[in-house]
Structure 1
């Protein structure tokens, strides 16, 4: 980043944003909390007696979360006006909505995530009854995609949830948190809102008695843990690439794969092969994490302009 970039962010009242007062940070947290509550609260504006996977429930929730997501940039604008914080970058660019490097922003983060899931992917291939040509025929069959698009659960898990959650919990929250916390802390602070937001599943599980109380809360704690870790990963991808599309595609892929079936792998007749690919995937992921998210592929990440150039070197260079 250049010296000019170091001055790209300023307060309208001649205050130094990099020495911002505690009130500014609290206001940023409050706006993020407001976003999280709006997103989760929108799921419960509809009165219904069906579980969350019922098609009618999913349709209603599509409406509410899409409205909240469409209005979420307005929250950033209000935050900016309330704090006097004036980034020297267009709002949409800060939210990762830009065209520079977009093709590689679609491909590289997704490939990196597939490397991390190398073990589960090999496990899936070994258990798949189809050969490669059969699988290719299915993927290229238009009827297959018609069925997917008509399936409310598929639309929720692969399209609407990844798009709206990444927009609200990454693209809108990170630009508000980064000027206050810095890049590193923002990566680990932002996912806390994302993880806590998933606790709302406890309400439905208790309501429909989908397990014991202890089991439900244990499951919620486990879900909070892995969603927070996943949120940190997509926040990292968002900051490094400066694009929203990468986190959305990674989110969709992870929703499809689910949590790795490690217990099933232990009982698999080819468990040595599977665990070898688990290990290889993790090693390659660590080796490729920074090279495959290098800004040379995507252009200067807009989020990195929200901190001093010296503070951005570790994540933005």
Structure 2
């Protein structure tokens, strides 16, 4: 595959990213006969699996036609722009996940205290999970399709126009706003009050945008699509940290240890963030961040 570059105007890049986001979110609702079935209904999940899978194939093809063939030494192949390459694959599969587990040291410690870790040692857990559509959606389909559209297909457009630094903060805005569509389901299907649904959606907008920035950072630092995918799956599994459960723990000594693990995890993550994501470790000469 010939090397290529992306040379669009900044407004064109933004419009294309917006279009990709609208198409992805819109595909979640196209062709669904019964709008009263919530997002966790098996029929809804299966239908969305098909739709987003098709979109995840189509959008990279559309993106390809906006690239320009180049003989420049700095140019890369289309697949490399998407973060699909062999050099540095193993480190990108492991190191960003370890880094994120360090950040989640507090929640992981809570899992240990609650005995949740024992479940992961049960083969039946994994067998049941792979037969559960919600688990498959959260850990496989959503991470792969969302990272392909919102990172692999958007960052090649944004970086040439805005640079890597601005792109880290611009890219997640499309990702965060895209999750705001859950408010529709909360109001129409779950019959939640609009004000309550808005508050929940606004909160979700906040943390999905923060995660989007982290995911974009990992993609640009490693130059690998798989890095944000595995981290996305892990974060979906962990969910938002259960701070309330920690603060209300009945044992004072355990509560203090849990609080300390949250702080230690955050400090260690900040200290390791740049060393563990050094582009050198991943043979990344595609993006310069």
The two structures have a TM-score, normalised by structure 1, of 0.84
SS at match of 1:162: helix
What is the alpha-carbon distance in structure 1 between the residues aligned to residue 33 and residue 287 of structure 2? 39
Counterpart for residue 169 of structure 1: 150
- The Cα shift of 1:149 comes to 1.4
What is the alpha-carbon distance in structure 2 between the residues aligned to residue 147 and residue 10 of structure 1? 45
- The Cα shift of 1:301 comes to 3.5
Counterpart for residue 164 of structure 2: 183
Structure 1 window deviating more from structure 2 (54-63 vs 292-301): it is 292-301
Counterpart for residue 15 of structure 2: 30
Question: Is contact 1:241-1:293 (8 Å) kept?
Answer: yes
Equivalences, count: 281
Question: Is contact 1:239-1:301 (8 Å) kept?
Answer: no
The one-character-per-residue Cα deviations of 1:264-314 (angstroms, maximum 9, x if unpaired) are: 11001221000100000000000000000011211024133xxxxxxxxxx
- The Cα shift of 1:10 comes to 6.3
What is the alpha-carbon distance in structure 2 between the residues aligned to residue 80 and residue 137 of structure 1? 47
Counterpart for residue 131 of structure 2: 150
Counterparts in 2 of 1:75 and 1:234: CA distance versus 1, 3 Å: same
Question: Is contact 1:240-1:301 (8 Å) kept?
Answer: no
What is the alpha-carbon distance in structure 1 between the residues aligned to residue 191 and residue 262 of structure 2? 32
Counterpart for residue 285 of structure 1: 269
Matches for 1:245-264 after TM superposition, within 5 Å? 245-264=226-245
Gaps of 5+ in 2: none
Counterparts in 2 of 1:259 and 1:210: CA distance versus 1, 3 Å: farther
Question: Is contact 2:119-2:125 (8 Å) kept?
Answer: no
Q: RMSD between aligned alpha carbons?
A: 2.1
- The Cα shift of 1:73 comes to 0.9
Counterpart for residue 24 of structure 2: 39
Gaps of 5+ in 1: 1-7, 12-16, 305-314
What is the alpha-carbon distance in structure 2 between the residues aligned to residue 64 and residue 214 of structure 1? 30
What is the alpha-carbon distance in structure 2 between the residues aligned to residue 122 and residue 153 of structure 1? 25
Structure 1 window deviating more from structure 2 (266-275 vs 184-193): it is 266-275
- The Cα shift of 1:210 comes to 4.1
What is the alpha-carbon distance in structure 2 between the residues aligned to residue 98 and residue 109 of structure 1? 17
The one-character-per-residue Cα deviations of 1:25-66 (angstroms, maximum 9, x if unpaired) are: 111111101100110000000222311100110000000000
1:56 and 2:37 equivalent?
Answer: no
Q: Pick one of 73, 77, 94 that aligns with 1:90.
A: 77
What is the alpha-carbon distance in structure 1 between the residues aligned to residue 99 and residue 220 of structure 2? 15
- The Cα shift of 1:89 comes to 0.5
The two structures have a TM-score, normalised by structure 2, of 0.92
What is the alpha-carbon distance in structure 2 between the residues aligned to residue 137 and residue 122 of structure 1? 16
1:100 and 2:84 equivalent?
Answer: no
Question: Is contact 1:97-1:243 (8 Å) kept?
Answer: yes
